[in-house]
Amino acid sequence: MNDRIRRLREHSLNTPPRLSAERAIWITDFYEKGLALTESVPVQRAMAFRHLLENKEIYIGEGELIVGERGPAPKATPTYPEVCLHTAEDLALIDGREKVPFRVDAETMRIYRERIEPFWKGRTIREKIFAHMTDEWKRAYETGIFTEFQEQRSPGHTAMGGKIYHGGFQELIDHIRRRAASLDFINDPEALDRFEELRAMEIAADAIVSYARRHADMLRKMAAESSDPDRRSELLQMAEICRRVPARAPESFWEALQAYWFVHVGVITELNPWDAFNPGRLDQHLWPFYRRERAAGTLTEERARELLCAFWIKFNNHPAPPKTGVTLKESSTYVDFALINLGGVTCTNKDAVNELTYLILDVVEEMRLLQPSSMVQLSRKNPDRFLRRALRIVRTGFGQPSIFNTEAIVQELVAQGKSVVDAREGGASGCVEAGAFGREAYFLTGYFNLPKVLEITLNNGVDPRTGKRIGLETGHAGAFLHFDQLLEAFSRQVRHFVDIKIRGNNVIERINARHMPVPFLSLLIDDCIENGKDYNDGGPRYNTSYIQGVGLGSLTDSLTALHRHVFEDGTVSMEQMLAALAADFDGYDGLHSTLVHETAKYGNDDDEADEVMQAAFEIYHQAVDGRPNTRGGVHRINLLPTTCHVYFGSVTGALPDGRKAGVPLSEGISPVQGADVNGPTAVVKSAAKLDHLRTGGTLLNQKFLPQVLADDAGLDRLLHLIRTYFRMDGHHIQFNVVSPEMLRRAQAQPDAYRDLIVRVAGYSDYFVDLSEALQEEIIRRTAHAFR
């Protein structure tokens, strides 16, 4: 990397995240002054968006090539008081906490205390949501049965398709006007709503164009003041770019990157969607610009690399907005889940890997940044060179890129009713979630604690931690004569809690649709303009809601142990088992050893456990899949945890697989930490027995000794392992390659290991930023590989 990039990168890495009051001030200003009181909600939101972009400070850093910051400077992170208000108490906590802190200075604290908090108290989406949740929802939430993604963040969760590269916002405005002119007020009862939504979109489109031009003005001013002739001409060139895009379709590689970046900043300024936003299939979108300019001789490979590096650094400047409470626990990270997709297939099902794909992989390796995340979509059609290049980066041990199966993604999306072309142009975003990029709103609504539901089942609906009844009375576990009766009771409890969750989801969707539309994001996702409907209100072509199952491995091993020892062999009675669980196995060493060492475990290609896993999967799938949401779509499942398996573990007592109370659950579809003793082929085979194609994504974490990957022969074996997993329709696999000794050293001297990045679960994070429980879990996971 050249000096400029090194400086920008260092600056991004060394700047500590801090909280910025800027956005909170301007949004409060807008609503305090009642600037749009007579307007419809979408128009109000669009005007508020414009107010933010008109007034926020413009930041252009020294040497920057791509411009636009969400806050007044890199890492200056805004809050979104209209969604979630941070009280002075919250801010003190956020400032002082050990993990994932944001610095809050005294002045910011004062502004929040005196101005933000008094105005927004009682008006936030978060308060509306909690006011509408039933007592049973609240009990389940507090017990740790499920989490709620939308209680501090707006839904979001989508990725950009190709449309901003083919047309500018001027074309979008033309489209909006055509659509508004064609509204049928005589026959369409929603015509006025559509009209207002379209008006809002037009205001938002204008706002982003003006925002880009504010940058152009500033750049010209800086050029005039610059004493360095090279920089001066660069600044003028950048001014020209910001004057053209995103108003018009980009014409150069540089313009394409800058156009996306303005759009990205727009999405994360409008609201705080979870996940932030994502350019999606970056190598596909940029390839026409790259190829054209390379052929014309107007772009060198070095310049393209430099621009991409500058682009990468912009993502790293933007930590996820500060979270608190359960939401912090389920996603304890600065990562805001922009996952760049590389490779895969084209819309006509051809190998999509191109020379730019390889250049971007170079950038991933060189930048070695937390954000953006990167992944490779591996199709049968992609050459081995592509995967080998990706694995060489994996080998360096920072957890990127993760590896996805294109054929699985396409089949999953098609099975959900998407067109095959939309599916091919899709990919995975966030951690592992399959989506039709540019055309789908696929909300993640919360994690679901499967092992906890088993615990509740074993206690006849009572949570043993609190003694409170939160589930159904499905019968005393000691009275079950057959394993099937236990499964039936478990299944009813799952259904019970899923019902509670879906009721909550549907209410929350309506609250967001009605009170918190996102006209800017709606501009970007087809077919919101055509439908005259907001992204949050079913405007997109596809509208899906996910509930993410957590702890499949722990659940499977627990059910397998009960099946084997209680129901089949009868070597331990259910009463004894319940007593051992209640005692956290204290005084039950013999039973504990049997459960841990002499019981079939998921992850070993052992059908005894794997068939139980399949049964458990079916129960969860059946409880969720296909159930309607309020946006014309349905609920689906996926299986991923972020950091929620740690939180869920902390609220779950001892389990029949020998796991003690409070210990993290298994993550994604990975086996219980340390339970897989037959090597990676067995893990992959067990995992492939799950029907991936009926999910919207699964997460499989594998750990590797660095030695395995040290030589090319090892790399090839890994390549074949992945190809075989994908041949069996596996969705995703990712790798951690670090030694446990190194992790112990990092725990002892965190300062010396600030840059140590490990794969957590669907994303990578700084090891020293992880909670101690998660650190321990990763060490256990890693040590296991070194036995």
Contacting residues toward other proteins, per CB under 8 A = 589, 592-593, 596-597, 605, 678-682, 685, 708, 711, 713-714, 716-717, 720-721, 723-724, 727-728
Query: What are the distances in angstroms from CA 751 to CA 316, 714, 754?
Result: 20, 33, 5
Comparing CA positions, the residue from 243, 233, 650, 150 lying closest to residue 441 is 150
How far apart are CB 787 and other proteins at their closest, in Å?
A: 9
Tokens 């909006």 found at: 176
Amino acid letter for position 696: G
Dihedral of the alpha carbons of 333, 336, 337, 340, in degrees to the nearest 10: -130
Closer residue to other proteins in complex, CB, 503/720: 720
Token readout for 566 is 């209680």
Give yes or no: 431 in active site. Answer: yes
Cα(657)–Cα(560) distance, integer angstroms: 8
Query: Cβ of 40: how many Cβ atoms within 10 Å?
Result: 17
Is the distance from CB of 36 to CB of 46 less than 8 angstroms?
A: no
Is the distance from CB of 731 to CB of 432 less than 8 angstroms?
A: yes
Give yes or no: 84 in active site. Answer: no
DSSP H or E run through 528: helix 528-531
Cα(57)–Cα(381) distance, integer angstroms: 47
- Cβ neighbors of 375 (< 8 A, separation 6 or more) are 339, 340, 341, 342, 400, 401, 402, 403, 404, 427, 428
Token readout for 726 is 């994908």
Helix (H, G, I), strand (E, B) or coil at 549: strand
User: Catalytic one among 84, 242, 309, 431?
Assistant: 431
How far apart are CB 598 and other proteins at their closest, in Å?
A: 8
Cα(626)–Cα(695) distance, integer angstroms: 11
Pairing type for strands 468-469 and 462-463 reads: antiparallel
Cα(624)–Cα(339) distance, integer angstroms: 26
Cα(318)–Cα(276) distance, integer angstroms: 9
Is the distance from CB of 19 to CB of 91 less than 8 angstroms?
A: yes
Helix (H, G, I), strand (E, B) or coil at 596: helix
Cα(749)–Cα(759) distance, integer angstroms: 20
DSSP H or E run through 434: strand 433-435
Cα(500)–Cα(470) distance, integer angstroms: 11
Examine residue 527 and say whether the peptide bond preceding it is cis (omega within 30 degrees of 0). yes
Cα(237)–Cα(251) distance, integer angstroms: 13
Token readout for 596 is 């841990």
Is the distance from CB of 218 to CB of 60 less than 8 angstroms?
A: yes
Name the H helices within 297-381: 301-316, 325-330, 355-367
Q: How many residues are there in the chain? A: 787
Is the distance from CB of 763 to CB of 642 less than 8 angstroms?
A: yes
Ramachandran angles phi, psi of 649, nearest 5°: -60, -40
Comparing CA positions, the residue from 320, 274, 275 lying closest to residue 94 is 320
Query: What are the distances in angstroms from CA 734 to CA 431, 547, 718?
Result: 11, 22, 11
Query: What are the distances in angstroms from CA 154 to CA 33, 144, 517?
Result: 24, 21, 9
Ramachandran angles phi, psi of 16, nearest 5°: -75, 145
User: Catalytic one among 202, 433, 455, 777?
Assistant: 433
SS (H, E, C) 721-772: HHHHHHHCCCCEEEEECCCHHHHHHHHHCHHHHCCCEEECCCCEEEHHHCCH
Please give the positions annotated as active site.
Answer: 431, 433
